[in-house]
Structures are given as structure tokens and as C-alpha cells.
Amino acid sequence: MKILANDGIAPIGKQQLEAVGFTVVTETVPQHELIKTINNENYVALLVRSATTVRKDLIDACPNLKLIGRGGVGMDNIDVAYAKEKGLYVINTPASSSQSVAELVMAHLFGAVRFVYDANRQMPTNGATGFNTLKKKYAKGIELRGKTLGIIGFGRIGQVTASYALGCGMNVIFTDPFAEKATVNVKVGNQQVAIELSSISKDELLQNADFISLHVPKLDQPAIGNEEFAKMKDGVIIINAARGGVIDENALIAHLNSGKVAHAALDVFENEPTPSEDLLKHPKISLTPHIGAATLEAQDRIGEELAVQIISLLS
Ligand code: NAD
């Protein structure tokens, strides 16, 4: 049985599948040629990450396809309900990348409060001639310890992000309509400290957070728009490593320009893979190209988790 891993799969996952007789092809077939290739090559499973989309037309046109696998969490690039209705297995790897995404959030947060992202842009061109000017420009850094991180969406990634922030000595508040309470395990050396947290209202979070990190699924409406920005503290820092569109991008730019929002960090964008130039060029935004799960450890876990599920469903 042949599997097309169109956005790649970690070698360990490929090896596990091949060890039980699957053929795994990792070449990337362009979206417009996918249907033809799947049918010509008789693929029974299509594995994707976020780049390849699997819509109704593909599902209808590929009758031999038995399984669609998403390496990662969000399934918004797959017509999941329709695929299941047609009898296909649809699987993902929800827990594999939580730690990596949380670490990227912390990287953006540390980078934002000390202007690391901007210094990295300025130093190559102005570092030799304007060293002291830049030094002065970045003299208003702040510390994370003691500040309040507000987390919107307290599922897997929200909770792991909380554990890192608590471990850094930050206060953590969260809002999640579906999680009233949560126990966050903070690793300190070889020990775990369990911290109990309770959900608060979104308004209370917006009013009290120094930094806000979003960890909700893609929603019908942005979780943060003009109305929410208006309720935040002046100088708030916002991070979105969830999904493009979870923040209203135009409203974000307006509030960065007005000074209401001090900085933003974005790993995800509307219109990926061609994000708005206004975001990409904005001096107050720290940017990464949707790499939350892009660590060797997360990719290995994703590959293994996919292999285990495929073997159990298709072997
Ligand atoms: P999860 O399902 O475990 O958690 C999502 C949480 O959001 C749930 O607890 C849910 O109750 C809560 N929620 C839903 N609607 C809400 C609302 N309106 N307000 C507040 N909370 C709400 O998902 P997860 O694994 O933690 O993933 C979170 C997000 O991160 C998803 O959007 C996912 O696609 C994204 N993600 C990004 C990357 C990346 O590379 N940047 C990698 C993996 C996942």
C-alpha cells in the first residue's frame, strides 16, 4: 500500500511504516496535480501538514483514498466532516507539537521585551555607525518575571505555555469557555509543581494582562478585534501562534500604529503563504513563518504518532 506524505514526514515515521510493508513517498506534488497523481499512483493515504489542502473535490475524485493524515493539530486545510462522511479515516497528531509551540511563544516574548527582533534587523546595517543610538533606542526593555501573561484558549498549547511562563516567575491568567479549571504542571529541575488555575472572563483578562497569547482554534470571528484592543492595557504585547485570522490583522496594525499595542509577534497569518506586506514590514512586529511545530523533536513525535495510527487503521 502506498502513502503520499505530500508535506513530508520525519524519517522515523517513514521507517516505521516501511518496516510493516507500506511504501512512503515524500515528494511534494503541486496542489493542482494531486488528484491525478493519487489516482495514477494508487495512493491509499495522503499525509499533509498545513501546506496541502484536502477539499471535497479531491475526496470525491480519489475513490481509492482510505486515509487523510494531518501531521499537527489544526485541520482547517481538510474537509474533515465530508471525508468522514465518505468513509475515510481522518487522523491528526494533537499533542506532538504543544511543547515546541509553547517554546516559540516564549522566544517571541523574550525577544519582544528586549527588542531582539528589531536589533537583529538594525545591527547589520546601522550597528557600526549608530551603535550608541541603537543602544539608547533599546534602553526601555522590561523583564518578564512578575508580569502577567493572559492566555486565550487553555487547551494543550495554552497550558504548556502557561507552564513555561509560570516557570519564569510570571503570573498567568486564562480565559476559556470550555475549561473552568486546569492544573498546570511546572517542571523545576527534576520536580513537578502543580499549579491550579481558574478561567476568568475575557474582559477581565484583556484588562489585566501585560502580554496576551492566543491558543484558540480557528474561529468564525477573530478572537481579538477593535473591541478587544480597546479593553487592553496600554502598551500590551500580543502573540499569535494559533491560526491566521484569530487576530483581526487590520485592527492590529491600527493599534500598533496608535501605540496602544507596544509589540506583536506573529507565527501565523491570514493568506499564508503570502502574508500581508504591511505586517511583514511593520517595525513593531516580530515574525516567524509558521514554525511553531518545526522542531526536530516535534517532527519525530508527529511522524511516530502518524505511523502508529496508520498501522493500526490500515494494516
Ligand atoms: P486545543 O484544542 O487543545 O485547545 C484549544 C482551546 O481553545 C480549547 O481548550 C478550547 O476550549 C479553547 N477555545 C475554543 N474557543 C475559544 C474561545 N472562543 N475563547 C477562548 N478559548 C476557546 O488546541 P491546541 O493543540 O492547544 O492548539 C491551539 C492552536 O494552536 C490551534 O489553533 C492550532 O491550530 C494552533 N497550532 C499552531 C501551531 C504553529 O505551528 N504555530 C502548531 C500547532 C498548533
**Whose alpha carbon is nearest atom 40 of ligand 1?**
292
* Per annotation, catalytic residue among 49, 255, 282, 290: 290
Cα separations (Å) of 95 from 102, 113, 140? 12, 29, 37
Q: Which residues of 57-75 are buried (b: 16+ CB within 10 A; e: fewer)?
A: ebbeebeebbbbbbbbbbb
* Residue 310 confidence (pLDDT) above 90: yes
Are 2-94+296-314 and 98-287 equal in CATH topology? yes
Taking the CA of residue 268 as reference, the ligand 1 atom at the shortest distance is 41
Model pLDDT for residues 93-115, shown as the tens digit of each residue? 998 999 999 999 999 999 999 99
Could you confirm whether 290 is annotated as catalytic? Answer: yes
Q: What would the pLDDT profile of 298-308 be if each residue is shown by its tens digit? A: 999 999 999 99
- Ligand 1 in reach of 241 Cβ (< 6 A): yes
Options 49, 70, 156, 243, the catalytic residue? 243
Residue pair 13/307 in contact (Cβ under 8 Å)? The answer is yes
pLDDT in tens, 36-84: 999 999 999 999 998 999 999 999 999 999 999 999 988 999 999 999 9
The per-residue pLDDT for 278 is 98
What fold is seen in the domain 2-94+296-314? Answer: Rossmann fold (3.40.50)
The domains of the chain are located at 2-94+296-314, 98-287
Atom of ligand 1 nearest to the CA of 293: 40
Please tell me if the CB atom of residue 166 comes closer than 6 angstroms to any atom of ligand 1. no
Residue 272: active-site member: yes
CATH superfamily of 98-287: NAD(P)-binding Rossmann-like Domain (3.40.50.720)
Any atom of ligand 1 within 6 Å of the Cβ of 46 = no
134 confidence band (pLDDT: 50, 70, 90): very high
